[in-house]
C-alpha cells in the first residue's frame, strides 16, 4: 500500500481505538468478558449520536470526543487498563483489525468513486464533512437538506473522517473496512453467547455467498458476473448478501447498517441469556445500549427498523416470560420491553421531527411471487440446515408438513418452502436464542412472498426494494442461527476431541492469512482500480481538467452553491457536487424525485440549469434564484449544452485545462 496512505489509516484507527478505550470501562461490569467486544460498535454509535447533537447545537464537532477522552483519563486513574485487561482484549482487536485490513485491500484494488451508488454515497459524506450541520445540506438540491433521506450512516463516517483528519475521498474507502470490522466483532461476540466452541461460525454469515454465486462459478462466469448475477437471482428484484455488498463497494445505508444489526442481535441475545445475572445498573446499561442501537436504525437505514423494532419487542417478551411473568417481578424483566422502544425514539427524536420524506405508499399483495428454484438459489444453504435440524421433528410429526398446503394452493410455492422449517421450529416450543433467530428470519422471507411495501419503483420492480432491504436482515438472522446449529453439530460429533491441539491453534492463523491473501489471489479488480485509497485519484488520468478544478473547489471556503450540468442518474454528470460536497441546483434527478416527489419540481430545476448555460440574458437571474455563487464550465457542460454564458458580468476565478469557474455576482 502506498506510504502516503499509512498515516490516514493509522489516524483513523487511532480514533476508533480511542473511542473503544473510552467506552470499554463503562461496560465492563455489565458485559464482563464481552465488554471489550461490545465497546467497538457501541462507541462508534455513541460518538455518532454525540457529534450529531453537536451539529444540531452548532458546536464544534470535535467536542464529541471529549467524553471518550475523559473516560480514558478516569479509567486510567483508577488503574483499569492493566496488562491483563489489555491482553484480554487482544482477540477482539484482531477480530476488528483483520476484516478491516481485508476490506482495505479490496478498496485499494477498487477505490474509485465512479459507478453504482458511489457518486451519491460520497456526495453525502463530502457535504457533511464540508459543513457538519443538522440536517446536512443536500448536495444535489440547492437550498434543500437531507431530511428526506436516512443520512446518519453518512454522518457517522464523515465524523470519523473529521476526527481523524482524513479527506472525504479517503474516508469513503475507510468506511466499509470499518463496517466489516465492527460487524465481525459483533457476530463473533454473538458466537460466544450461542456456542461453547467454534464461536467464529456466526461470522461466516458475513463472508459466505449464496447458492446462486456457487452456480455462476460452476458454469464459469467471470467474477463480475458471479457477483452481479447472484444478486439478481429472483426476477426483477435485488437480493444482496453481505460479502457481495462489501466487495461491490457502495457505502450505502443498507451496507453501513450491517454492523448495527449484528450489534443489536448480540445485545438482545445477551439479555435473553444473561438477564438474571445482571444488577439493576447492568440492566439499565444494557437497555441503554439496545436503545442506542435500535434508535440509530431509522437514521442509518430506515427499512431496518421495520424489522428490528418487532424483533426487539419479541425478545423483550421472551426476557419477561423467562425471568419475570408475574406482578412481583424482582428481576425487572419488563425493562427490555417497556424502556427500550421509547428510549430509542428519544435518542434521535430531532431526526423524526425534521424528517420530510413521504415514506411508503402502503402495503400490497404480491401478484407474482418468487420462482421456487430462484428462491432456493438465494436461501438454500440456510434452509437446508434448518430443515435438517428439524428432521427428528418431521419424523415424529409429519402432519405438520400440511402447513405448506395453503400456500401451494394459493400459488406461493416459495412461501410453502419457507413455512415448513418455520412450522417445526414454532411447534418445538424451545425458543432458544438460535431457534428464535431462525424463526424471525424465516418469518421475513415468508412475509415478503405474500406482501410488499409500495413505493415509486414502477410496476415491473414493484417488490424490488422490499426484497432488497428485507433480505439482508433475514440473511443475518437465518445465517447466525443456521451456523450456530452447525456449531452444535460439530460439538456433538466430537470434532474437537479428535483434533490435535497444535492444529487447532494453527487453523485460525491460516484462516487469517487466507483471508488477507484472497483479494490478491482472486482477481476482484472490476476495471475501476487505481491502487490507492483516494477515490478521486483516477480523475487525474481520465478527467485531468475536472481533477484540478475540483481540488480547487474543495479548498474554497465559505457557503457556496454551484451550477453544473445535469445529465441523469448513474452518469459522470453531477461529479462536481459529488466530489466537492458543494450543493448544485439539481443532480441525479431520479434520486431526488424518489425522495421529494412532485413537490420537488425536479424537472423545472433541470430546465433552469439548461437555461443558465444557453440563455445568457436569463443566466444570472436564474442562478440568483437558487442562491448560486459559482458557475462551472467543463467538458460535460459543453457536451450537454450549447454553452453561451454572460462572461462579461461574471468573475472568472479559475481557468485551467479546459475548465472555467465563474463567480456569480450577488
Percent of the chain whose pLDDT exceeds 90? 84
Distance between CA atoms of 345 and 341, rounded to whole angstroms?
A: 6
Other CB atoms within a 10 A radius of the CB of residue 334 amount to 16
Question: In a 3-state reduction of DSSP, which class is residue 655?
Answer: strand
Instruction: Report pLDDT for 60.
Output: 96
For residues 521 and 211, which has the higher predicted lDDT (pLDDT)? 211
Cβ atoms 142, 561 nearer than 8 A: yes
Other CB atoms within a 10 A radius of the CB of residue 225 amount to 13
* Res. 502 pLDDT band, cuts 50 70 90: low
Rounded mean pLDDT of 472-477? 98
Burial (CB count within 10 angstroms: exposed 0-12, middle 13-18, buried 19+), residue 612:
buried
Distance between CA atoms of 333 and 255, rounded to whole angstroms?
A: 33
Percent of the chain whose pLDDT exceeds 70? 96
Cβ atoms 304, 150 nearer than 8 A: no
Cβ atoms 457, 464 nearer than 8 A: yes
In this predicted structure, which of 151-160, 323-332, 372-381, 397-406 has the lowest mean pLDDT?
323-332
Q: In angstroms, how far is CA 555 from the centroid of its own chain?
A: 29
Distance between CA atoms of 605 and 609, rounded to whole angstroms?
A: 6
What residue ranges do the domains of the chain occupy? 3-140+149-354, 363-498, 539-663
pLDDT digits (tens, 9 = 90+) for 405-416: 999 999 999 999
Q: Where are the alpha helices (DSSP H) in 59-145?
A: 66-77, 83-88, 90-109, 118-130
Cβ atoms 583, 127 nearer than 8 A: yes
Instruction: Report pLDDT for 459.
Output: 80
Other CB atoms within a 10 A radius of the CB of residue 659 amount to 22
Distance between CA atoms of 284 and 368, rounded to whole angstroms?
A: 46
Rounded mean pLDDT of 3-8? 85
Q: Is the peptide bond before 200 cis (omega within 30 degrees of 0)?
A: no
Residue with cell 428526506: 148
Rounded mean pLDDT of 500-506? 65
- What DSSP string describes 326-376? SSS-TT-TTHHHHTHHHHHHHHTHHHHHH--------EEE-SS---HHHHH
Residue 344: closest CA among 294, 300, 382, 394: 294
- What is the pTM assigned to this prediction? 0.95
Rounded mean pLDDT of 278-302? 96
DSSP annotation of 137 reads B
Whether pLDDT at 531 is above 80: yes
Burial (CB count within 10 angstroms: exposed 0-12, middle 13-18, buried 19+), residue 232:
middle
Whether pLDDT at 393 is above 70: yes
Q: Quick one: cell of 90?
A: 487482544
* Res. 1 pLDDT band, cuts 50 70 90: very low
Distance between CA atoms of 487 and 459, rounded to whole angstroms?
A: 43
Rounded mean pLDDT of 408-430? 95
Rounded mean pLDDT of 609-638? 97
Amino acid at each position: 500500500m502506498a506510504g502516503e496512505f499509512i498515516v490516514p489509516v493509522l489516524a483513523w484507527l487511532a480514533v476508533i481505538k480511542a473511542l473503544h478505550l473510552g467506552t470499554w470501562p463503562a461496560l465492563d461490569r455489565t458485559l464482563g468478558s464481552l465488554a471489550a467486544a461490545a465497546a467497538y460498535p457501541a462507541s462508534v454509535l455513541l460518538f455518532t449520536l454525540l457529534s450529531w447533537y453537536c451539529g444540531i447545537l452548532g458546536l464544534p464537532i470535535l467536542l464529541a470526543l471529549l467524553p471518550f477522552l475523559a473516560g480514558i483519563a478516569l479509567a486510567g486513574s483508577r488503574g483499569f487498563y492493566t496488562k491483563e485487561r489489555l491482553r484480554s482484549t487482544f482477540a477482539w482487536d484482531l477480530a476488528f483489525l483483520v476484516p478491516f485490513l481485508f476490506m482495505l485491500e479490496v478498496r485499494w484494488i477498487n477505490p474509485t468513486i465512479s459507478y453504482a451508488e458511489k457518486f451519491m454515497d460520497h456526495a453525502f459524506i463530502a457535504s457533511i464533512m464540508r459543513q457538519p450541520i443538522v440536517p446536512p445540506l443536500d448536495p444535489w438540491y440547492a437550498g434543500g437538506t437531507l431530511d428526506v433521506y436516512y443520512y446518519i450512516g453518512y454522518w457517522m463516517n464523515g465524523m470519523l473522517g473529521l476526527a481523524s483528519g482524513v479527506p472525504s475521498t479517503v474516508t469513503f474507502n475507510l468506511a466499509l473496512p470499518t463496517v466489516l470490522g465492527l460487524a465481525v466483532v459483533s457476530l463473533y461476540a454473538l458466537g460466544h453467547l450461542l456456542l461453547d466452541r467454534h464461536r467464529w461460525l456466526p461470522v461466516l454469515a458475513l463472508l459466505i455467498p449464496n447458492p446462486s454465486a456457487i452456480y455462476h462459478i460452476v458454469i464459469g462466469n467471470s467474477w463480475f458476473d458471479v457477483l452481479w448475477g447472484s444478486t439478481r437471482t429472483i426476477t426483477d428484484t435485488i437480493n444482496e448478501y453481505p460479502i457481495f455488498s462489501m466487495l461491490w463497494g457502495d457505502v450505502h445505508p443498507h451496507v453501513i447498517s450491517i454492523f448495527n444489526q449484528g450489534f443489536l442481535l448480540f445485545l438482545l441475545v445477551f439479555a435473553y441469556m444473561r438477564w438474571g445475572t445482571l444488577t439493576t445498573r447492568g440492566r439499565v446499561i444494557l437497555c441503554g445500549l439496545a436503545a442506542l442501537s435500535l434508535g440509530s436504525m431509522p437514521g442509518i437505514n430506515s427499512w431496518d427498523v421495520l424489522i428490528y423494532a418487532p424483533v426487539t419487542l419479541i425478545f423483550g417478551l421472551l426476557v419477561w416470560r423467562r425471568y419475570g411473568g408475574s406482578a412481583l417481578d424482582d428481576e425487572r424483566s419488563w425493562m427490555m420491553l417497556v424502556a427500550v422502544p421509547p428510549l430509542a425514539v428519544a435518542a434521535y427524536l430531532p431526526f423524526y421531527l425534521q424528517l420530510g420524506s413521504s415514506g411508503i405508499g402502503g402495503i400490497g399483495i404480491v401478484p407474482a411471487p418468487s420462482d421456487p428454484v430462484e428462491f432456493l438459489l438465494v436461501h438454500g444453504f440456510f434452509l437446508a440446515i434448518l430443515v435438517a435440524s428439524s428432521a427428528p421433528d418431521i419424523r415424529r410429526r409429519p402432519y405438520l408438513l400440511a402447513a405448506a398446503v395453503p400456500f401451494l394452493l394459493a400459488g406461493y410455492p416459495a412461501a410453502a418452502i419457507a413455512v415448513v422449517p418455520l412450522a417445526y421450529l414454532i411447534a418445538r416450543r424451545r425458543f432458544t436464542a438460535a431457534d428464535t433467530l431462525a424463526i424471525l428470519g424465516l418469518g421475513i422471507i415468508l412475509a415478503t412472498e405474500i406482501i410488499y411495501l409500495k413505493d415509486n419503483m414502477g410496476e415491473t420492480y414493484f417488490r424490488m426494494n422490499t426484497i432488497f432491504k428485507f433480505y439482508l436482515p433475514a440473511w443475518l438472522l437465518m445465517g447466525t442461527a443456521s451456523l450456530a446449529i452447525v456449531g452444535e453439530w460439530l460439538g456433538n460429533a466430537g470434532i474437537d476431541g479428535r483434533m490435535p491441539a497444535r492444529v487447532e491453534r494453527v487453523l485460525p492463523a491460516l484462516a487469517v492469512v487466507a483471508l488477507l491473501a484472497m483479494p490478491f489471489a482472486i482477481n476482484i479488480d472490476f476495471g475501476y482500480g487505481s491502487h490507492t485509497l483516494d477515490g478521486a485519484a483516477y480523475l487525474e488520468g481520465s478527467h485531468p481538467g475536472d481533477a484540478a478544478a475540483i481540488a480547487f473547489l474543495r479548498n474554497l471556503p465559505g457557503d457556496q452553491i454551484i451550477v453544473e450540468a445535469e445529465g441523469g442518474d448513474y452518469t459522470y454528470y453531477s461529479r462536481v457536487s459529488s466530489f466537492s460536497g458543494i450543493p448544485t441546483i439539481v443532480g441525479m434527478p431520479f434520486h431526488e424525485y424518489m425522495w421529494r416527489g412532485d413537490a420537488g419540481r425536479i424537472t423545472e430545476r433541470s430546465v433552469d440549469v439548461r437555461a443558465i448555460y444557453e440563455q445568457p440574458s436569463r443566466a444570472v437571474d436564474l442562478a440568483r434564484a437558487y442562491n448560486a455563487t459559482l458557475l462551472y464550465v467543463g467538458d460535460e457542460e459543453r457536451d450537454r449544452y450549447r454553452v453561451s454564458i454572460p462572461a462579461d458580468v461574471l468573475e472568472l476565478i479559475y481557468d485551467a485545462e479546459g475548465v472555467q469557474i465563474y463567480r456569480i455576482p450577488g
